[in-house]
Amino acid sequence: MNLKLNFLDLFAGAGGLSEGFIRAGFKPVAHVESDQAACFTLRTRMAYHWLKVHGRTELYADYLNGDISRPEFYEHVPEQVVGSVINAEIGAETLPDIFRQVDALVGNRALDLIVGGPPCQAYSIVGRSRDRNRMKGDKRNYLYLYYAEFLKRYKPSYFVFENVTGLLSARDEDGNLYFNAMRDLFLECGYETEYMTLSAEDYGVLQSRKRIILVGRRGQATGFYPEPDKWNPGVKVREVFRDLPAIGAGEGVTGPCRVKTYRGTWQIEAGIRNEELPVTWHQARPNNEQDLEIYRIVVDLWNREKTRLDYNALPDRLKTHRHRDSFLDRFKVVASDLPFSHTVVAHIAKDGHYYIHPDMKQNRSITPREAARLQTFPDDYYFESGNGVPGRTPAFRQIGNAVPVLLARKIADKLKEVWL
């Protein structure tokens, strides 16, 4: 189907879901996101896509190479391109102004699709276990109410709602399931809904990541769910690392790095590799000697026995955490000899102990670029900070919160097939 369908991305984050839909041929009208750094990432990416369409990606290369500043880069694209990213927290007070801005961007056109999902922390099983009130009363539990307001106003043909699997079991103060309340509300808005739990590793992503993908269709039809086509590339996680330069803890650069010749196929088929633009963000965080000693133990244990480290098995001199009855796998290697890694989450922004590089000679945690590849972001995707100074923490946070681009692409491809 050769349609140029447009979409609005709510709670857009760094744009993993959006990037997948763009690659499938959908056209973004606007993105709404509360995180300032993620908004700049989206603006930079929207500028890239505009330049790509107009055959001027050398300007993007100039920016990645540090030859021009971010404001100078933005001057090369129409104001509406960067202005299509709305930096706002969606809520009762902000909704009128967000509507005003989206209305201006949509113009007289119909809006075909809305994608996105509210922040997952309130529904996350881990988030609930760590919160003394189990997230009850957290306002993020009710952001779906505002999602419904967008459905009422713009009446898209479809919407795609993404969230963690904990959404299926999260309950309000009265014991009612949020998920049921959401679906009832969406039905009141005129949408039948269908959902599946999708595992990213079933679709070519080299990472275990389960997500609820709820799809709504306007009207009363059923049996429309766009179940993506599965893909098993038959490779191991080492495909993520094999062409990146070897660096130690605290080494590497946020700007362009020199990658090796890649002789595989997965990076190309997954849409990651781009030979024409620089690869950025291959910079490892520094570590103290104690952490590095633990890292060596973790990797050696995996290499010898294919066993994960139990924190309590460490020598006493290396055990500094007080809580020793939970999260005993807090030090974990991203094993290169497995078909997929464990889930990349936003906690990677705080420390890299759960994401240790498999090469003991490098002895470090993974870089933002390596994490981005596990999330199937293209190598030419640049992660911004709020102030324009490259920041590893905001980059990691954006990557950990994202939807894998390849999973989004698979969903988008199938949605186009079933479109009215």
- The CA distance from 61 to 68, in Å, is 10
Q: How far is CA 184 from the centre of its chain?
A: 28
> What tokens appear for 409 in the block?
């692409």
| CA separation for the pair 187, 179 (Å, rounded) | 12
Which is the catalytic residue, given 39, 120, 189, 257? 120
For 4, the 3-state DSSP assignment is: coil
d(CA 416, CA 401): 25
Which DSSP category does 24 fall into?
T
**Encoded tokens for 98:** 């967000």
For 230-277, the three-class secondary structure string (H helix, E strand, C coil) is CECCCCCCHHHHCCCCCCCCCCEECCCECCCCCCCCHHHHCCCCCCCC
Largest CA distance in the chain: 67
Helix (H) or strand (E) holding 49: helix 36-53
Measure the CA–CA gap between 376 and 340, rounded to whole angstroms: 12
Q: Interior CA angle at 377 toward 376 and 379, to 5°?
A: 115
Sign of CA dihedral 178, 180, 183, 184: negative
Phi-psi region of 284 (alpha: psi -120 to 50; beta: other; left: phi over 0): beta
Give CA–CA dist 339/343, Å, rounded: 13
DSSP code per residue over 90-133: -STTTHHHHHHHHHHHHTTSPP-EEE----STTT-HHHHHHSTT
Which residues face 163 on adjacent strands?
212
Contact assessment for residue 36 and residue 87, using Cβ atoms and an 8 Å cutoff: yes
Instruction: Please say if 120 is a catalytic residue.
Output: yes
Task: Calculate the alpha carbon distances from 51 to 8, 72, 76, 85, 313 in Å.
Answer: 21, 14, 9, 17, 54
| DSSP code of residue 325 | S
Catalytic residues: 120
